[in-house]
Structure 1
């Protein structure tokens, strides 16, 4: 087996979690997969995988080597894409991550349409409520909710979301509507742990935080469960604006305490600088950006002009222009978690 195929097999073992899954991907025997790993370890003089009868995981050396393998394999794929293929028809494997509910509602339909539009790109879409490490986990594009800091990650602004408080019309008719956050102490509440601390919700008044202590009637860890409970009149809940958008549109939930909401939080599409010129990256960014910026449930972020183009952050305009992808600014990843959990930890 040649060295590049050994690298591909090694990456597949880590990404798929087992020797058997890697053997299925390449149509190899499990023994051949094992020999590939043994060959790499012998050549490098280091153990790359820690193996037991039930699991396989990369060692520290394995984590460092798998990223080197991904860089090399990505480079080969991109080179072949630029030379052998029509630039309008990118090829390769594109790995995308997004928060679960945001992904289900807004990203998955675009991924499906992109896959149909570019049949030579194989897409690996991962929806999970934790921050993916782009370089370490081989993720090409990540959709993130949260404020960004300085790093070498490119961010394309897509919109913003707000943390809002909701109740059903039936609940408000029976219990009355709280006029101030502190009134919640006299109400039944449903805490969704992805957005707020279970026993303390945060509000803002005159740019000052107002922490409100609660004794929730119900605590859930899934946004749909909180939505369902609030619709059924169990109590008042706090969610991200898009998580209850359909229920607000249908009249099943009503936003309350609007004057005490925190500022909106940006939603960004992230990719790493070294892949900025990749055809598969560029095509996906261009394919989804306008649609997501026009999504009524993603409010316009503060750094977007009336024409909808992102404004580069100060001092990084040149880098953004040189990146080859329109409407970019150089900005870092906040290491708090994705989706609603990222909102919670950023406040």
Structure 2
């Protein structure tokens, strides 16, 4: 049996979690697909996949093995392509995880501009905001403003996100419009759990002071915080990018607009491997370039 093909079949099944879909994609029968996976397990002497009639999942050994062989398979695929072309153009599906607030027209234009230049790259984007296992779930790239790195991952800073404190006009009519930062002490806050779950925010730049607001809604999903602010529930610290249309439309007001509110780096998180597929490397370079994030994250 072709061991290299067996490794490719295992990697596809591990990432797609579906024997039938992989069999159809690779032009194999379901039975032969299963034989290839069993061949790999026999070679390594360990069960790599848990499977039953409805579910397929990686074992701990399987996740470790996939993390080791995936960059090798990616590298081999590009090495083979380089034999038939002077230069390798990015291609394949780029699987990404991003914050919910990046689901907006500005970032959609970035995706469209990149795809125009690289038509053989397609996108599969997760916007759930949940904690992910990049290797086990086959995620090529994660974009995060606040992200604690798991072991084996690296980050590349792409730009800075400027935040502003906002609230709905109807809420401010009831609460009052703060004239100084101290007016915000113990004020009701819609808190992003990845940055300010306890309600503490810093104003005045790096040498500024902390303010302690009172969280009344805490979530890792930026969308619910945004919508709750528009609904008049309390103060929210939102990225300028996300809040600007509601501010222009009068649905939100900026609070103490002359105050220096936090700036946080947006980072690209990816597996720590010496080789990056062209689709990942080229998209990273595009995001960091003049037509990427820095042009819209203001």
TM-score interval (norm. to shorter): 0.7 to 0.9
Residue 154 of structure 2 is matched in structure 1 by: 153
Q: Match of 2:87, SS?
A: coil
CA drift at 1:137: 5.0
Corresponding position of 1:302:
none
Match of 2:241 in 1: 242
Match of residue 280 from structure 2: 281
Aligned Cα RMSD in Å?
A: 3.5
Displacement after TM superposition at 1:79 (Å) = 0.9
Give the 5 Å matches for 1:29-178. Answer: 29-87=29-87, 89-130=89-130, 132=132, 138-146=138-146, 153=154, 155=156, 157-178=157-178
Counterpart of 2:2 in structure 1 is 2
Label 1:4 to 1:110 Cα distance change in 2 as closer, same or farther (>3 A): farther
2:25 is aligned to 25
Unaligned runs of 5+ in 2: none
Shift, 1:160, TM fit:
0.9
Take 1:186 and 1:90, find their aligned partners in 2: how far apart are those partners?
Answer: 51
Partner of 2:224: 225
Specify the SS of the correspondent of 1:291: coil
1:9 and 1:181 map into 2 onto residues whose CA distance is: 58
Q: String of CA shifts for 1:297-343, please: whole Å, max 9, x gaps.
A: x14xxxxxxxxxxxxxxxxxxxxxxxxxxxxxxxxxxxxxxxxxxxx
The verdict on how the C-alpha distance between 1:30 and 1:64 changes in structure 2, with shifts beyond 3 A counting, is: same
Count the aligned residue pairs.
294
**Alignment partners' CA distance in 2, 1:234 and 1:38:** 55
Return the TM-score normalized by structure 2. 0.79
Q: Give the direction of change, closer, same or farther, for the CA distance of 1:70–1:219 in structure 2 (3 Å limit).
A: closer
How far off its partner does 1:214 sit?
1.6
TM-score, normalization by structure 1: 0.70
C-alpha contact 2:99 2:222 (8 A) present in aligned 1? no
Measured after TM superposition, the shift of residue 41 of structure 1 is 1.1
Deviates more, 1:41-50 or 1:86-95: 86-95
* CA–CA distance in structure 2, aligned partners of residues 90 and 113 of structure 1: 14
Separation (CA, whole Å) in 2 of partners of 1:260 and 1:14:
49
